[in-house]
Amino acid sequence: MSQSAAPSVRTRLVREAERAVYDRAAAYKILDEGFICHVGFVADGQPFVIPTSYGRVGDSLYIHGSAASRMLRRVDEGIAVCVTVTLLDGLVLARSIFNHSMNYRSVVILGTARAVTDGKEKLEALRLLSEHILPGRWAESRQPNEKELKATSVLRLPIEEFSAKVRQGPAVDDEADYAFRTWAGVIPLTLVAGEPIDDARLMPGVKTPEYARGYTRKR
């Protein structure tokens, strides 16, 4: 697929359209930085929004969970889903409450997902999910056994109908409000990893790996 996509009727931003991003590479950068997506769907007339981890490879998004998960079982039936990922970058404080905002980056994907049934693709998808969260961890960990693979479902969602929305920059006040002696500005927010904490039953001599000690989220 190309690095850009024309918005569909459903993904074209109407309100604050200047914040819309339809560039595929820019949307993928947001997806690759996030940890959690929210999967929205309707089952038996009831809307649900379920948070879950995810991973991306190429133009596909993979989500996983228990094989007994209602969400995964219903989504695999071909019902429409809406997947969202949002990264919060800062609180934007204006002089008026009405003009307060947030700096953020978000992606919305619409489509239908299907279960991954091929064993090799399923294992590779789980590896990608693991590497998306913590690069280097998969190779050092015990691989999933047959029982665990059977108890796990993996769904693949093609990234075909999508849009991103980005808000960056300072506060924007009404011209008359600039006369107020009220502090205005941006409080940046970042996700920062703390010092790793050893497990109580760690084998003697096992040291914290570099990928844990120096962990940082790519941006």
- pLDDT per residue as tens digits for the range 32-88: 999 999 999 988 888 999 999 999 999 999 998 887 777 777 777 788 999 999 999
Task: Give the chain's end-to-end CA distance (angstroms, integer).
Answer: 23
Residue 20 in this model has a pLDDT that exceeds 60: yes
Question: What integer pLDDT is reported at residue 1 of this predicted model?
Answer: 38
pLDDT over 90 percentage in the chain: 74
What's the CATH superfamily of 17-189? Electron Transport, Fmn-binding Protein; Chain A (2.30.110.10)
- CA 46, 51, 52, 58 dihedral sign is positive
Task: Evaluate whether 106 touches 85 at the Cβ level (below 8 Å).
Answer: yes
- CA 41, 14, 22, 86 dihedral sign is negative
Q: What's the pLDDT band for 123 if we cut at 50, 70, 90?
A: very high
Query: CA triplet 82, 83, 86: central angle to 5 degrees?
Result: 130
pTM over 0.85: yes
